[in-house]
């Protein structure tokens, strides 16, 4: 199990406050403070949750003393079944922290998100308004249900260009959503995310805005 000193060091490496870590893990700020000050014995599940969130943000723990940043890690997470969208939104919200973050989505029809699990869709947009992170979406010409109130965040391309899967680029991750089989694959890699971000920007430059 990781140590309280490693948690402090991990926060310093990714420039997080105790409040940031509390929000990302869903723990109370007082709980984080007590753990770091070694006041009491935290549950193993609590420490595992903190470790998972830190690792998802690019930290590598070594034993009970070492902490480092993974410069270009390559990890894959695969979720399927009834909760696959919940797992995707969990990952989104664990790293999308403010106005400096932007989700770039390319989807044949954004209604897939809402129809798959409306609760997760609502949770995503509620947190987007609270945290202030941004979103742009390329979808089909016939789409009219603009979940994001900012219509300028949408542009359209022909359906044959969009394909049948949804891709989403955010921070250092690319998510591939296969709606028909109810599956999402999340790949964490800075270089891959940068590649897909560049592809999105090119497609965005070619896409057409929706009429105001």
Residue 9, domain CATH? 1.10.260.40
Here the tokens at position 156 are 């359209």
**Stretch 161-186: mean pLDDT:** 94
Domain count, the chain: 2
Q: Are 75 and 91 in contact (CB under 8 A)?
A: no
Domain that holds residue 10: 4-69
Q: State pTM to two decimals.
A: 0.67
Q: Which is nearest to 45 in space by CA: 92, 88, 1?
A: 1
**Stretch 79-87: mean pLDDT:** 93
Same-domain status, 19 and 108: no
Of the three residues 50, 69, 88, the one that is the final residue of a domain is: 69
Per-residue model confidence (pLDDT) at position 90: 93
Same-domain status, 202 and 137: yes
**Stretch 136-152: mean pLDDT:** 79
Check pLDDT > 90 for residue 152.
no
pLDDT band of 88, cuts 50, 70, 90:
very high
Same-domain status, 62 and 84: no
Same-domain status, 103 and 195: yes
Same-domain status, 30 and 103: no
pLDDT tens figures, 39-80:
888 999 999 999 999 988 888 898 878 898 776 667 889 999
Q: Which is nearest to 125 in space by CA: 77, 93, 165?
A: 93
Per-residue model confidence (pLDDT) at position 147: 67
């Amino acid at each position: 199990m990781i140590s309280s000193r490693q948690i402090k060091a991990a926060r310093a490496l990714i420039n997080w406050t105790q409040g940031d870590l509390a929000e990302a893990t869903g723990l109370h700020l007082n709980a984080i403070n007590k753990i770091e000050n070694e006041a009491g014995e935290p549950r193993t599940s609590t420490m595992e949750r903190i470790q998972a969130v830190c690792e998802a943000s690019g930290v590598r723990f070594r034993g009970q003393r070492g902490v480092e940043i993974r410069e270009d890690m390559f990890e894959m997470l695969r979720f399927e079944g009834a909760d696959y969208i919940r797992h995707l939104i969990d990952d989104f919200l664990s790293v999308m922290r403010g106005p400096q973050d932007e989700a770039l989505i390319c989807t044949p029809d954004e209604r897939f998100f809402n129809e798959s699990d409306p609760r997760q869709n609502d949770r995503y947009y509620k947190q987007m308004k609270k945290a202030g992170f941004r979103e742009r979406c390329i979808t089909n010409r016939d789409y009219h249900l603009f979940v994001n109130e900012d219509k300028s965040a949408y542009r359209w391309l022909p359906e044959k260009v969009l394909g049948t899967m949804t891709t989403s680029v955010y921070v250092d991750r690319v998510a591939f959503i296969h709606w028909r089989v109810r599956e999402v694959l999340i790949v964490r890699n800075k270089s891959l995310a940068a590649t897909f971000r560049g592809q999105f920007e090119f497609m965005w430059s070619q896409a057409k805005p929706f009429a105001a």
